[in-house]
Amino acid sequence: SGGPPPPARGAPRLDVDKYIWKKYQGGEKVCNDKLKRSVPLTGKSPEFPEVSNMGTTCHQGLVMVDVQSVDIGVDHARDLRMLGPLFLSLSVQLSIGSQKSDFTSHRRGSEKAGWSPPERKQMLWDAQERYLWCRVWDGELGFKQLAGEGRIDLPKLLENGSDGISTPEAVEVELFAAEDDGADSDSEASPRSASTAATFSKLQDSTDPSRGAFIGTANLKVTIIDMTGMLKTQTKKPISQSTWGSSGSD
């Protein structure tokens, strides 16, 4: 069929994901017609349960995130719950632009939450949105409050990869309370929040989460597949005559 050879049985999940994207890339931009047909403007497709509100956007990449753990700190837990961490119910939601993942399962009774095995979330990426947002929420059954949020610079993370594919990379995301939550706090700032607050350029960015108070961290493992980078690399590789066989063999 001319497609790439399938990965061997038992191959790592990353190799399988790379094979799928190479097989179905079909052009300089990946506009998945199947997604357009099967995903309504609101709601979810049974084939792509984590993709919603896709519309007719063309996507050029895939971001895979394994959520491993979060720690929002005892002090902030008391800010969220009068009786402390015992009544917390933490979950994580990821987003790229307007696209949001499902929530992870809840972890109750502590300011520290872990998922073993890690919970994987996948989102399509148009290579235009710069940030992957990580938001930690407290509560369930209709009541949720934002415990903290942080973000990852996707293009910067992709620089560590090759051929448009980043190796799975462990990332510690700094989490910050909403700006209003930290504005009236007279508590001693952590070294991290003090250093970020001193950066004037960041303060000019109204969406920068570090405008709020530093409250903790989230540990993620992130893999990025950027079709644009893969295709650019392919066009630079000369096609060897030996690839197609010698013309004298006829």
Quick: pLDDT tens for 169-185.
999 999 999 766 444 43
Cis bond upstream, residue 117 (ω within 30): yes
Residue 239 has pLDDT above 60, yes or no: no
Residue 189 has pLDDT above 80, yes or no: no
Instruction: Spell out the residues 6+ positions from residue 221 whose beta carbon is closer than 8 angstroms to its own.
Output: 65, 66, 68, 118, 168, 169, 170, 171
How far apart (Å, rounded) are the C-alpha atoms in residues 212 and 175?
9
Q: Using one digit for the tens of pLDDT, what is the confidence trace for 99-131?
A: 999 999 999 999 999 999 999 999 999 888 999
Write down the mean pLDDT value for the chain: 73
Torsion of Cα atoms, 217 then 171 then 44 then 139, to 10°: -10
Residue from 234, 166, 240, 222 nearest 25 by CA = 234
Question: Any idea which residue has 């063999």 for tokens?
Answer: 249
Residue 77 has pLDDT above 80, yes or no: yes
Rounded to an integer, the average pLDDT of 33-54 is 43
How far apart (Å, rounded) are the C-alpha atoms in residues 146 and 149?
8
Residue from 203, 195, 185, 174 nearest 72 by CA = 174
Residue from 221, 218, 196 nearest 134 by CA = 218
Tokens representing 249 are: 């063999």
60 — pLDDT class (breaks 50, 70, 90) = confident
Instruction: Spell out the residues 6+ positions from residue 180 whose beta carbon is closer than 8 angstroms to its own.
Output: 212
Contact present, 154 and 139 (Cβ < 8 Å): no
Output Rg (C-alpha) for the chain, integer angstroms: 21
- pLDDT given at position 113: 96
In the chain, % of residues over pLDDT 70: 59
Residue from 103, 63, 102 nearest 222 by CA = 63
pTM of this prediction exceeds 0.75: no
Residues 20-36, buried b or exposed e (16+ Cβ, 10 A)? ebeeebeeeebebeebe
Which range is least confidently modeled, 25-39, 80-94, 153-167? Answer: 25-39
| Residue 119, φ and ψ in degrees, nearest 5 | -95, 125
- pLDDT given at position 50: 46
Residue 250 has pLDDT above 90, yes or no: no
Q: Could you tell me the CA-to-CA distances from 76 to 178, 209, 217 in Å, in that order? A: 12, 16, 12
Which range is least confidently modeled, 87-91, 114-118, 225-229? Answer: 225-229
Residue 90 has pLDDT above 80, yes or no: yes
- pLDDT given at position 216: 96
Contact present, 103 and 119 (Cβ < 8 Å): no
In the chain, % of residues over pLDDT 90: 38
Q: Using one digit for the tens of pLDDT, what is the confidence trace for 130-154?
A: 999 999 999 987 788 999 999 999 9
Residue 193 has pLDDT above 90, yes or no: no
Please name the amino acid found at residue 70. Answer: V
Task: Give me the numbers of helices (H) and strands (E) for the chain, helices first please.
Answer: 9, 9
